[in-house]
Structure 1
Amino acid sequence: MGLSSRSKHLIHCIGLISWLFLFSWLTQGIRFTPSEVDFLDPWTTHGAGITLLIIFLRLLSFLALPQTLFNLVGLLSLNAFPDKEKYQSSPLLAPFICVRVVTRGLYPNLVKKTVKKNINTLLDSNIDNFVVQVVTDNPIDLAKDKRIIETVVPSSYQTKSGALNKARALQYCLEEDVNVLSDDDWIIHLDEETLLTEASVRGIINFICEGKHSFGQGLITYASNPVQFKSMSKFLQNRICTVADSFRVADDMGKLRCQLTYFNKPLFGWKGSYVICNAGAEKKVTFDWGPDGSKAEDCFFGIVALDQGYSFNFIQGEMLEKSPFTFRDLFKQRKRWMQGIYLVCQSPLIPVKSKLILSISLASWLTMPLTTSNLILSQMYPMSISPMVDFLLSFLGGMGLYMYIFGYIKQFPIHRFSWIRSLLSVFEIIIASTLSIVVENLAVISMWGGDWYDFYIVEKDNQVEGSEEV
């Protein structure tokens, strides 16, 4: 008999605390005996200029402290290995649901397969009162079915504020002559490759039937939606990108759960997929926020809804997506996110109080090239600002590495790994976490140039096998 949910969570908590202690001890964030740095006078040894620079760079690292604390609280206080969600009431009592997928129409076969799989998952979950709406710039020619709506956005359509890209398509669905939903209906927003699971469907129905919140979001993992590649190069790149996305999995289980469960607000923003919205509330918030609200329309929408007083909650059950296929796509994706969130934080349309915490988080992201230099400078110019500062810096580094470890455990079946395979996992995590840091540093450096309103679409469909029709 396997371990219980509570036992797994307890082991995880012990592991996290032990890891933080061990990492802090190894990096001298915790010292039980005096160290050389305790007796070193940096002003004399390194000079005033170098000392001031290192102090500045180390204190700059504390911009990441708020989100790191949210991750710590979320991972420790909320069960990291919850039991499978069960229906709290009959799914037949749930209101009408629209599964809405927005696409450029560049990968029609992928969309057709995804739609078919998601319809089958909903039916297998005993959900009958639903429709799948595919909103596309280019016709996909989905099969005629009472459960499928294909909405083609006219090339001539413009929103009042000049919204672009996905925001424009989402706003089109809210127009009076296009909208097919009542205010009491619910919308499940998915990307074109996102797969529902029966667990996520149960979590969504429970969230909707509880009736306490207008918006919700849950966990997305990336290792259970396999892709068959035509080349070994893409296979290896996608594998490393998937391991790198382990951080995002841990971020969902930590920061996202913490902010939505305890504060019922997306203080740090949220993702654009696995978004559950009350149709009436979405229509009031709208996606019509101009070009600045179009690069990261998901984050902009969430912060505006927060500012308008709507409440959010975390939804149990995971959905499945794919990580970028190549390092180039990973870089382009991260760059788009950074530019989009920057546009959210600098927008005059959102009060500072509503985007303050998100802005601090963005600042920690944009200063990565500076704070990452601490890894080298700490070896070249050893010094101690204070025991507390040393510990907090070690804590930040330890939590960052643990996020990759925990996310890997959550999305890969490590209980089936041999000891050799487990050992290889360590190298995978080291390579992927290093790549992730390098890519995000490069994205920060390069984000200031180019077209800020271009919306880069990463490759989504690379299957060797033929496509199924819906």
Structure 2
Amino acid sequence: GVNLFSTQLKSGVKLDDEIKPIEVYGLPLTIILYFLRLLALLPLPVIICHTIGILAFNVFKEKPELRYSQLVSPGICIRVVTRGDFPELVRQNVIRNVATCDRVGLVKFILEVVTDKPVPLDIDPRVHQTVVPEKYTTSTGAMYKSRALQYALETTSLNESDWIVHLDEETLLTDNCLYGILNFVNDGQSQIGQGLITYGNENVVNLVTTLADSIRVGTDLGLLRFCLKTLHAPLFL
């Protein structure tokens, strides 16, 4: 069949005429419509940086080799932040991370657990615990992890030359991770860095959430690596 359409719109504007949005929709609605159209370009900087990061850097790097003596390396504080709701998980991961540090031969380090609730950590003299008081507040009203980490900064006994490695309660260190950290802090080229985090290395409890979290692996390899290595700024953190 043949479909016939009128060239006259209900608004009185012909299809072959140039539509003038302000006259048709009014200025406020026109601004809103153009704003909504431009929202599609919002992820463009992220896409560009991520694509360059994936294409410009090798995502299958070889295992890092330690380039510096650990005896002359600065002190490292491995700071774990937690609410303390899962004390056994925290305890077991602390034990494993300390064992990894010993296996690598890390000399000048402490492992500090910053928690809202006390956790039984009578494991090793190099393991410290900082309990955030319930009444503590920051000057900006920060909450949760930010609040706990700010308290740790304000009460720390670390030296200015020491480095802090931030971990979540479920994060496990690896030998290669520590080699990379030691090389990074001894290179002295940057003051902030971020490493690759992977998921599903052990027993997978929930396949759906593990797959969802795996998106961060690609983000670390592309977007964040480009921003930190090339732009030297965590633009999208």
Range of TM-score over shorter length = 0.7 to 0.9
Distance in 1, matches of 2:161 and 2:143, equals 27
Offset, 1:174: 2.0
Unaligned runs of 5+ in 1: 1-42, 228-234, 270-470
Partner of 1:154: 133
Partner of 1:136: 115
**1:92·1:126 contact (CA, 8 Å) conserved in 2?**
no
Q: What SS is found at the alignment partner of 1:60? A: helix
- How much has 1:142 moved relative to structure 2? 1.0
> Which range moved further: 81-90 or 143-152?
143-152
Indicate which of 64, 80, 90 corresponds to 1:85.
64
Q: Which residue is equivalent to 1:245? A: 213
2:40 equivalent in structure 1 = 61
TM-score (norm 1): 0.42
After superposition, the Cα gap between the structure-2 partners of 1:134 and 1:56, relative to the gap in structure 1 and judged at 3 Å, is: closer
Q: Measure how far apart 1:182 and its partner are.
A: 0.6
Structure 1 residue 223 corresponds to structure 2 residue 200: yes
SS in 1 for 2:85: coil
Query: Residue in 1 aligned with 2:167?
Result: 190
Q: Residue 150 of structure 2 aligns with which residue? A: 171
Task: Give 2:39's aligned amino acid.
Answer: L
**Quick check: 2:227–2:234 contact (8 Å CA) kept in 1?**
yes
C-alpha displacement of 1:211: 1.0
1:193-226 superposed Cα distances (whole Å, 9 cap, x missing partner): 0111111111100000001211111111112143
State the partner residue of 2:235: 267
Aligned-partner Cα distance in 2 for 1:151–1:124: 25
Structure 1's 56 and 149: CA in aligned 2 closer, same or farther, altered over 3 A? closer
Matched AA of 1:208: V
Higher helix share: 1
Q: Give the C-alpha shift of residue 163 in structure 1.
A: 2.8
Matched letter for residue 148 of structure 1: V
Q: Give the whole-Å Cα distance in 2 for the aligned partners of 1:244 and 1:146.
A: 37
Look up the equivalent residue of 1:183 and give its one-letter code. Answer: E
- How many angstroms does 1:80 deviate by? 1.1
Contact 2:77–2:110 (Cα < 8 Å) also in 1: yes
**Rounded Cα–Cα distance in structure 2 between residues aligned with 1:161 and 1:77:** 39
Q: Is the Cα–Cα contact under 8 Å of residues 122 and 201 in structure 1 kept in the other structure?
A: yes
Write out per-residue CA displacement over residues 311-332 of structure 1, whole angstroms, 9 at most, x where no aligned residue: xxxxxxxxxxxxxxxxxxxxxx
For 2:139 and 2:225, the matched residues in 1 are separated by: 35
SS at match of 1:216: coil
The percent of aligned pairs where both chains have the same amino acid is: 45
Instruction: Indicate the residue corresponding to 1:96 in structure 2.
Output: 75
Q: Quote how far apart the aligned CAs of 1:134 are.
A: 0.6
- Whether the aligned pair in 1 keeps the contact of 2:95 and 2:123 (CA below 8 Å) is no
CA root-mean-square deviation: 2.3
Q: What letter matches 1:205 in structure 2?
A: L
1:214 aligns with 2:182: no
From 116, 126, 137, the equivalent of 2:95 is 116
Secondary structure in 1 matching 2:128 = strand
> Which of structures 1 and 2 has the bigger CA Rg?
2
- The CA distance in 2 between the partners of 1:181 and 1:59, in whole Å, is 47
For 2:228 and 2:184, the matched residues in 1 are separated by 13
* Separation (CA, whole Å) in 2 of partners of 1:220 and 1:62: 28
* 1:216-262 per-position Cα deviation (integer Å, ceiling 9, x unaligned): 111111121434xxxxxxx5xx2122222332211111110111111
**Counterparts of 1:241 and 1:184, CA distance in 2:** 38
> 1:58 Cα shift?
5.9
Q: How many residues align?
A: 212
Amino acid at match of 2:220: D
Shift of 1:44: 4.2
What is the CA distance between 1:54 and its match in structure 2?
A: 9.6
Query: What's the CA shift for 1:56?
Result: 7.3
CA contact (8 A) 1:223 1:242 kept: yes
Q: What is the match of residue 24 of structure 2?
A: none
CA distance in 1, matches of 2:99, 2:52: 37
Q: Secondary structure of the residue that 1:88 maps to in structure 2?
A: coil
**CA-CA distance at 1:145 after TM superposition:** 2.0
For 2:214, give the aligned amino acid: S
Q: Which residue of structure 2 lines up, in the alignment, with residue 203 of structure 1? A: 180
Amino acid aligned to 1:77: A
Structure 1 residue 133: deviation in Å? 0.6
